Structure 1
């Protein structure tokens, strides 16, 4: 009975309710005295517990001498109780979420820490769902497989896998890039450039998740991801040639895409002018990719509609004309 009581509690019954209800399911109709004995619930509590179970539609009473209690068919009553409880909780959830202003859940700049598997799973899911332009992942293959249903096809994605144990077709088909980098590195999730989620001890009993919102730290972690994890990972699947339209936050991946395409390319850039820091959004034809071997970086040269040429660098650019925060690539079919 102990296991049944535990299951009933998981369905939302209190400990006394679960004990009384399970006793009626196991032994059939019982008097209050019998019920107290079988359930090990104090007899003075039997009637108020029974009333609570009747209010939930789970049991019925027979008035006589002695008064007896019996469970309503659990296939109907218990299932309906769970359904009503679920619907009530869902309604409360929607009302609560609808009452919370978005700015109230925005994180201040800093380092936020959470511990435990559930916290890790929630933070990873939230990070994946929040990506609007580009999502970077470094995860074990089993986790990549679990995240597949959450990945939107409209965003740019890169998954660096620590192993190939569950490197299956649905993982390969969902991500723009899949790279294999056997390592015990932390799990990393970066939605756009908004923050970096880092999880250490992820294969232990109590993983620790760090949500990094300080932009300087995010920039350092992005370099680690792009240069060490992605840069040294073995390319398993790369779809740049097939992608005719993709947006990127990180110039490194945009450059890799452009190096593999054929035909005329139009690029739309959102960012700021390096000198004035004024925001800018412009669209131009790709003229060339400029490589700087000393800096191990590249930049774009675009020709605008008025004939001017501008140079575009990535986040932190200071030598180019524009620091790009979002780069949209549109490839036209070669004639």
Structure 2
């Protein structure tokens, strides 16, 4: 769509949406009653009598009602599907034209962004879900679960380990009525109606948003951690505060298959500690004292986590020594892990 045509389309759509408070109240009243007089509109609403005529003529000018110039003048409702048909066509054409003009902005790999727009928050939620390669943790409302169900189903089918916390618990569908198995390895529910909306992909790319921000309240916010190392704060909060105060709805438990990849050490420890048998690990990380990047492999001989979940570590016996592995920003352990691979019979191969 050419530049001038696109501008004309934007202006035309803008004119159709130029609804003031009086226009909106009058239009809904007319739709409700089908046919009304100007005096009746004033009675049904708080629109002053002198303003009613200008208001209904404005609605007539944009093609939403029909005026019968009788005494008294009558205002007739038009079928909304017909009244808005040309607008729907204009919007479809406009969106196609805007899409042609759209250039996706480049985002830095360590960006932290504050957003307040509900559509933007939902777009980032969708993007975080799609970006997960092997691990995805979510805190959602049942409504958002329905919204992203198809995406979660695809990711689960592709082998992404998905854990979902739903709240408020009173609105969470019963597992007998909802196919959670097709979406996640573990699903929990939590009572709190103020539980934030969260998505963490592979322990790195994450979003934190308040419930209010998804209701369109511009005084609230969402925070995006675009593959930032600060994203571990979101996963830490999810693991230690929300996950531990929730009730399990369903879990695949002993059905876990290995090898598996983990972006957060607490998930790795949770699986190792609850399943029988020997486990082997390959950890990509760095020495906490020197900062040297390294990969260690060996048998997991200990898996420790404090009751508060604040401290978590794996002890891995390599060919040379035993090393203690912690999560991101580890200080007490030997190694800060970025990615953990757990296998049953031998250490999994590291990433290419």
Distance in structure 2 (CA, Å) of the matches to 1:281 and 1:216 = 19
Q: Contact between 2:200 and 2:206, CA under 8 Å: does it hold in 1?
A: yes
**Residue in 2 that maps onto 1:112:** 114
Distance in structure 2 (CA, Å) of the matches to 1:290 and 1:206 = 42
Once the 2 structures are TM-superposed, how far is the Cα of residue 146 of structure 1 from its aligned partner?
Answer: 2.5
**Residue in 1 that maps onto 2:244:** 231
For residues 88-237 of structure 1, the aligned pairs below 5 Å read: 89=96, 104-106=106-108, 109-116=111-118, 118-151=119-152, 152-153=155-156, 154-162=159-167, 163=169, 164-167=171-174, 168-183=177-192, 184-200=194-210, 201-202=212-213, 204-206=215-217, 208-213=220-225, 218-237=231-250
Once the 2 structures are TM-superposed, how far is the Cα of residue 290 of structure 1 from its aligned partner?
Answer: 3.6
Once the 2 structures are TM-superposed, how far is the Cα of residue 111 of structure 1 from its aligned partner?
Answer: 3.4
Distance in structure 2 (CA, Å) of the matches to 1:259 and 1:186 = 28
Distance in structure 2 (CA, Å) of the matches to 1:273 and 1:7 = 64
CA pair 320-166 structure 1, distance change in 2 beyond 3 A: same
Q: For structure 2, list consecutive stretches of 5 or more residues without a partner in the other structure.
A: 1-62, 65-79, 347-352
For residues 10-159 of structure 1, the aligned pairs below 5 Å read: 10-12=88-90, 89=96, 104-106=106-108, 109-116=111-118, 118-151=119-152, 152-153=155-156, 154-159=159-164
Report the RMSD for the aligned CA atoms in angstroms.
3.2
1:11-47: CA deviation from partner (whole Å, max 9, x where unpaired): 237xxxxxxxxxxxxxxxxxxxxxxxxxxxxxxxxxx
Distance in structure 1 (CA, Å) of the matches to 2:185 and 2:344 = 16
Q: Does 1:322 align with 2:335?
A: yes
Distance in structure 2 (CA, Å) of the matches to 1:212 and 1:172 = 29
174-183 vs 293-302, greater mean Cα deviation: 293-302
Q: Does 1:251 align with 2:265?
A: yes
**Residue in 2 that maps onto 1:272:** 286
1:249-297: CA deviation from partner (whole Å, max 9, x where unpaired): 1111111111122222121211112222111223222122245579852
Distance in structure 1 (CA, Å) of the matches to 2:317 and 2:110 = 39
Distance in structure 2 (CA, Å) of the matches to 1:291 and 1:226 = 12
Distance in structure 1 (CA, Å) of the matches to 2:334 and 2:110 = 31
Give the TM-score taking structure 1 as reference length: 0.66
CA pair 236-275 structure 1, distance change in 2 beyond 3 A: same
Q: Contact between 1:144 and 1:171, CA under 8 Å: does it hold in 2?
A: no
Once the 2 structures are TM-superposed, how far is the Cα of residue 247 of structure 1 from its aligned partner?
Answer: 1.4
CA pair 258-108 structure 1, distance change in 2 beyond 3 A: closer
Once the 2 structures are TM-superposed, how far is the Cα of residue 197 of structure 1 from its aligned partner?
Answer: 1.4
Q: Contact between 2:137 and 2:199, CA under 8 Å: does it hold in 1?
A: yes
State the SS of the aligned residue for 2:179. Answer: helix
190-199 vs 135-144, greater mean Cα deviation: 190-199
Find the structure with the greater CA-based Rg. Answer: 1
